[in-house]
Every structure is written in structure tokens, then in C-alpha cells.
A and B are shown apart, each in its own frame.
Chain A
């Protein structure tokens, strides 16, 4: 039971609830307390010691991130003493961290550096302790520069929370330090949540900016960009726009400024994924085969199944993820129609995700010897390119995407939030099972939201579809345990590795918190709500592509389907 609690902070009265920390109440009331190791997804560890405050009548100082409020508490967030201790802690933290500010995921948004300026400390007071510390690369996705690590251990905690546990503590000269696991049964699945939760940029994506810049100036190449569903309501944050702002048209405009020959929308291919996946689901339901069916558009989840739970490989839908389908369509259908040599087409995919960098390297996805996608940039990398080119997204006039992949349905857009894939697939499944009747219900609001595991039973023409929607890989691990016990409990399971789905992806702008994820998701649902077409099957583009190109099983299989393999450990150090 939560109960109202009255406290005073710096002499002014505020109210909070049982179980709230001092920091939470302070933040809600815009009272600044510096933090580094705190993150809304994780239990407070109180290790950086920056958020120290004084409590009237109590001896010593307390970390506001971990101290719960009590009735009548009088808190002081600043004093000469507190200031002095925070400064020393900052100096000591900078004494570990090697500053590589010019090439950092936090280049334009570094809380650590901001605090150094605010407290006026000398970041070079001590010689950096971590000089010469190693850099680790996890697949083609993530780089861990351990010389930038300040030992907050958020990465370790979030990796464990994800059920992956690829990070360990190892004793090195009396210091317990984060290292990739040597355990052969542990491997990175590239979700990138370590990047999201690292306060100092020790974890970042493996950068493809330079490569993309070089193909952009190569006259022999025809560079097309394609943007993921979720980034349209996240990229604006990098340019100071409010959380959840729809910047689809501004992104297209920006991409043309940096030299895109075409700017496509991956949400169009999400509509293809929806149709293929709904069909596969109906087929499996009819044949009662390989149920429950798992979604496969999240590459971190796919790698998780292939490495940690290969006994479930046959449960994964064989449908490719939207980015792979669109890349494939661009290098076949689009190339042919527009008379461009597919060898010269370079597809650059802008994704909310670090695992998407891994997905594009899968050889089984090649079509006629070509990779459907050449490069993946995270939304942060695209923001870096824009900033380098002095393009302020917030000032650009919106432009339309390029045909043929310009107009998705609302179904394709909500792919970016947890529950979106299921909602889209259900819209189509119901449409198909009712032989194309107009949908009475378009929105499935009980499937939406940030709740980690959602369940529902949808009844269509006496067929019951039992669905579960999971975000956060740790929760998926739990669902797999449930299915082992009770294989018939679900028919369809959507899994997104990242909290909240792609809007909370490992490639999204920093910071990403629970509150921010909700606003980003709401932005996507707002776009869906005002779309004329909210059902994949109604899309004129989809109708056309199925009439002209995806006309038989063979071609559909080649462009839209794949298979999976048991994976051995890929990251050995």
C-alpha cells in the first residue's frame, strides 16, 4: 500500500509515496542531484557516490538513489561539504577513465563531462589508471573499450537481467573488472543494452559511419537508405525535439542532404512481414505444427534462441525481418524496375539496434550472392552524420519517402513498440480468417504498453489464438521455461529483446529510460491512429508487390523467408 509521505528538500515541502527514493522525489520536482550509476531499469547500486545528500538529525551522508523517504525527513542536497566530496569523487572517477571524447557514443551528450564542467574539476588531476586497458569487439555490433569504464557495473547487471550473462568480473591486479565471459556457454546476443546503460561510453556500437561516408562519395555506387519503424519517434531527441515527436519526413529530407539516392521506409516491408507471418501462423494453427510460433524480427532474440535455446529453433517464424525483406526487394524488384545494377546498389539501414549489424552478416540471408543490406547505422550514428554535416533535423522541412517504398500502413509503423508486431499480425490474421471482412476492431490496447509480459486470448470465428508478448530478454527466458512445462499454453509469442521493444533498442538515442520509452511508443501509436490504412493487406504498395513480384512460393521464399542454425560461441577472448 502506498501512502503519501511529506518531506522537505532544501527547506521546501514535497510529497512522495512509500517506497520512493529521495532521488525520485527530487527529480520529479526538478531538484538537481548528480548521478552516474543510477538507471531507472536497475536496482540502485549506490556505487558512484555522487548523489550524496544530508538528512537532518542523522549522522553522515546518504546516497539519494538508494535512501527511501520517510515522513518528516528534511534533506539537504547541497552544502560545501557535499560539494567537496562530489568533486573528489568526480576527480577519482575521471582518474580511471581515458577521455576519448571526440570518438564516443556520448560525444554530444555526456553527463560525465557535463558534471566535470559543472563542478569545475580537473579531469586530468591524476594520471588515468586504465591506460592500455583492452578493447573488445562483440561480433560486428558492439565495442567495449575497458579503458573508459568507471566500474559502475551497470552493464553486468543489465546483461544478467537480459538473461544473457556475457559479462563477468575478473580480478586484475587487485581490481575486480568487467570482462567478456570466457564461459563457453555464454555469448553476446548483441542487444546493446550495455550501451544504453553505460554512463561513460565504454560500450558503443561498432561504428560504420566512415564506411557509409565513403560509399556516399563513390560515384560508382547507388546508395539507398531505409529507416526502421521506431526511429521516426526517437531521432528528434538528438536535436532537442520533445520525446515521441514524429520526424519521419525530416529524416527523409536529411538523408537526401547527405546524398541518399533513395530514402525508403522499412515499415513498408513490415507490412510484408505481417502478411507472411499471419499466413504462417494460420498454417501452423491449422496443422498444429511448431507452436507456439515465435516472432523473429528481433535479431538479438533470434541469436538468443540459436545459442541458448536451440531446441526452440523450429518455433521461430521463418519470415525475415522487415529490414532484410526491404533490402532484398530493393536489390531485386526495385533494381529491375528502375534499371539499376543490383551490384551497385548499397543499402544502408537506419536501425534502433546493434544486433541488426549482426543480422545483415548472416550468409543464409544472401540473395543471388548479394547481401540484402550493406550497412546498418544506429539512430545515434545517423545523428552523428547529420551533426557532422551541420544538418539540424529540427529545422528541416518534411519530405516524402521515395517510391516504391514510401507509404507504410499504421500496422507497419507500430512494429517499433512492444506488442506492435502482434497487433499488426492479428489485424491481418482476423482479416484473412473472416475472408476479408472489414475489421471491427483495429486496436488491441491490451497488447500495448511497457509491461514486461502481456497475455491475451483472441477469438476469431471460433478459433482461439493465445498470445504472449514479451519485452526484455530475461522475461523471454522465463517464458521459455513456462513453455517447457506447458507446451500448449500459447500459440504465438512476440519477443523483443529490449525493454519496451525497438523504441528501447540498444541503438537508440541516449539517455533511454522507462519514461522516455513510453513517450516514444506513444508517438508511434499516434501516427498509426491517423493513418488511413491501418491493415497491411489494404496497402496499395503491398497489393502491387504481391501482384507483380511476390507471385509464387519460390520467389516469396527467396525474398521473405529464411532458416536458423544452432550457434556456437562466436566471441572468444
Chain B
């Protein structure tokens, strides 16, 4: 087995885009896939509200990211790579990355502003000049990806840590985006096994008011009460603090619905119509779980891609835990 893959395996590195898939496994499947040409894509589409740690890494550690991409290209034997950037990051960092990349075969690609454009099969479609729609899986992109070739796609933070692991500098940390009603908002690099409670405390952000948090993304993230903070921050590693008294719960839910409706591809019925109906109910403050639960179930079980499947949880969490 390749040295770096062994190191990744020993480090137990998991993907930092949100799904938390073991990185070594993903790399192995691309290494084992047959194909004349292989691609590496660095996903820097970071498009969910309240998540900004990839932007922080792109700004502060661009060399590490490119180094991670180069290592991946060498390891899976890819002749080309793409750095797929959300439009803001593209505009901000394009020049700097071009300087770092130099003549290497790493191309920058500007993502459209839609959230769905960050989904891995959509990314392949868009780079190929096709429609902004997810593809049916299987086949997975590790075997049939960009231009039909085996493709390795990881998140910015993952490539950053690949570089660190290769240098022996990895200390089991990850990046957290702290935000909401906190005193010290920002991006923090802290141990990955730290509890949410400890993160809030260590960053001086533990509130002195009644609160709840959304963890792992400002839209698909999980809703947790102040007594539920012993677990770790999963997903995209964001922690958003809401002051219970001052929060308009309906407004939060409407914002989620708007975000999903604006960001989805409108291809499948549950995501396009189900979320629209949720939005209508929230707007009318007509919260009836017996009406909503079938839509949640439909989103979770019948949606085409992960966007729709993940869209129900925050609504259910907020309604069940907070609105009751």
C-alpha cells in the first residue's frame, strides 16, 4: 500500500466536507479504479450559512492546500486537478492561487452561487459543461467521475490535513466556525474529539443566557439544547449559538427553507415541492407535525440526493426540541 495512504489510515482522517467518510478508503477506491486518466478535485464550494472555515484555510494556508492536492495527484496518479471555488473565494483568492500553482496542471473553476453546485456529481457535471443536476449513484465518482474517469474529490480542509499528515504535523485537530450570538466569533483549530461544550468554553463563547445551538452547518446542521453539548461538532464543523428569548424561530426556519429552495436543483419532487410546502407552513406559522412529518419522511427517504435527504432534520429538531 502507498505510504501516504497508510499514514492517512493511521491518522484516521475523515473527510471534512460534512459527510465524514474515511479519507484513506476513498483514496484506495480511486487508486484501484481502472481508468486511463484520473482526476483530483478540491471542493472549495463551501456554501452553507454559518460555515466559513474553508475560506479561512484558503486565505491562511493556501500552500498547504495545494500541497495536499499535489500529493493526491501523485498518489492516485492523476494528470489533472481542479480547485473548485465558490464565487466569493474565486474572486478573492484567484490571483494568489495562480501564483502558487504556477505551471502545475491544477485548474481553478468558479462555482455558480447555488448550494447544489457543491454536490460532488453536480461539480463533475458543471466542469464538463453539463446541467446543474446531481447524477444517479452508483456509479460513484471514484470509479466514474469527471469526464467518466475515476475522480478523487475532497474538501479544502481535508487536503490541508493531508499535507500536514504527510509532514508528520497532524495533531488530530479540525477547524470550527463559531458564530451566532457569541462574544468571539471566528475560526478555531482545536482537537477533533473536543465536546461542543468545551469548544464553547475554551473559545470564551459559552453564553450566559438561555440558548440552543445549531451544529455542523447553518442549514442542515443539528439543533441541540444547552444540555446536549457533550458530543462533538460533526458535519462541516460549525457551531451557531442562538439566544432562546430573542430568536424568531419561524424566521430561522423560513431562512432555511429559502436557502434550500434557492440552492437546490429543483429536479426531484420531494426537495422542490416538499420544502416549498414546509416554507408555506412556517410562513403561516402553521406548525402541525402531523402535516409536516410525512413531508420530512418523504425528503429523507425519497429525495434524489443528499441535499433533500438532509433538509428535514433541522426543522424537525427545532420544532420538537424548542417549539414543542
Question: Which A residues are within 8 Å of any B CB, using their own CB?
Answer: 44-49, 52, 60-61, 66, 81, 84-85, 88-89, 92-93, 95-96, 126, 129, 150-151, 153, 169, 174-177
Interface string of B120-137 (1 = CB under 8 A from A): 000000000001000010
Q: Given A46-B304, A85-B302, A174-B261, check contact A92 B267 (CB 8 Å).
A: no
Contact call B302/A52, Cβ cutoff below 8 A: yes
Which residues of B (289-310) have their CB < 8 Å from a CB of A?
Answer: 294-295, 297-298, 301-304
Q: Given A45-B267, A49-B270, A95-B277, check contact A85 B262 (CB 8 Å).
A: no
- For the residues of B in contact with A, the DSSP-based class is helix
Contact call A96/B273, Cβ cutoff below 8 A: yes
Which single residue of chain A is at the shortest CB-CB distance from B270? A49
Contact call B136/A46, Cβ cutoff below 8 A: yes
Question: What is the distance, in angstroms, from A165's C-beta to the closest C-beta of chain B?
Answer: 13
Can you give 5 contacting A-B residue pairs, CB < 8 Å?
A: A44-B136, A88-B274, A88-B295, A129-B276, A177-B266
| Chain A residues with CB under 8 A of B173 | none
| Chain A residues with CB under 8 A of B273 | 92-93, 95-96, 129
Contact call A175/B277, Cβ cutoff below 8 A: no
Which single residue of chain A is at the shortest CB-CB distance from B274? A92
| Chain A residues with CB under 8 A of B252 | none
A88 to B277 CA separation, bound complex (whole angstroms): 12
Question: What is the distance, in angstroms, from B280's C-beta to the closest C-beta of chain A?
Answer: 8
A169 to B130 CA separation, bound complex (whole angstroms): 13
| Interface presence of B189 (CB below 8 A) | no
Interface size class on chain B is 20 to 34
Question: What is the distance, in angstroms, from A543's C-beta to the closest C-beta of chain B?
Answer: 56
Q: Given A88-B297, A175-B261, check contact A49 B302 (CB 8 Å).
A: yes
| Interface presence of B7 (CB below 8 A) | no
Question: What is the distance, in angstroms, from B113's C-beta to the closest C-beta of chain A?
Answer: 11
A86 to B273 CA separation, bound complex (whole angstroms): 14
Which residues of B (223-272) have their CB < 8 Å from a CB of A?
Answer: 258, 261-262, 265-270, 272
Contact call A84/B268, Cβ cutoff below 8 A: no
**Top 4 A-B residue pairs of the complex, sorted by shortest distance between their CB atoms:** A92-B273, A174-B261, A88-B298, A176-B266
Question: What is the distance, in angstroms, from B309's C-beta to the closest C-beta of chain A?
Answer: 9
Which single residue of chain B is at the shortest CB-CB distance from A86? B302
Interface centre among A66, A88, A153 (most CB of B within 10 A): A88
8 Å CB contact of B298 from A44, A89, A150, A174: A89
Beyond known contacts A45-B267, A176-B265: 12 more, CB 8 A cutoff: A47-B267, A49-B304, A52-B302, A66-B136, A81-B301, A88-B297, A89-B269, A89-B302, A92-B270, A129-B276, A169-B131, A174-B258
Which single residue of chain B is at the shortest CB-CB distance from A68? B138
Question: What is the distance, in angstroms, from B128's C-beta to the closest C-beta of chain A?
Answer: 15
| Chain B residues with CB under 8 A of A151 | 266-267, 272
A47 to B270 CA separation, bound complex (whole angstroms): 9
A174 to B262 CA separation, bound complex (whole angstroms): 5
A177 to B265 CA separation, bound complex (whole angstroms): 10
Interface string of B276-287 (1 = CB under 8 A from A): 110010000000
8 Å CB contact of A84 from B131, B272, B297: B297
Contact call A175/B266, Cβ cutoff below 8 A: yes
Which single residue of chain B is at the shortest CB-CB distance from A156? B131
8 Å CB contact of A46 from B261, B268, B294: B268
Which single residue of chain A is at the shortest CB-CB distance from B303? A49
A81 to B298 CA separation, bound complex (whole angstroms): 10
Contact call A85/B301, Cβ cutoff below 8 A: yes
Which single residue of chain B is at the shortest CB-CB distance from A92? B273
Interface centre among B136, B269, B270, B303 (most CB of A within 10 A): B269
| Chain A residues with CB under 8 A of B302 | 49, 52, 61, 85, 88-89
Contact call B265/A49, Cβ cutoff below 8 A: no
| Chain A residues with CB under 8 A of B270 | 49, 88-89, 92
Which residues of B (47-87) have their CB < 8 Å from a CB of A?
Answer: none
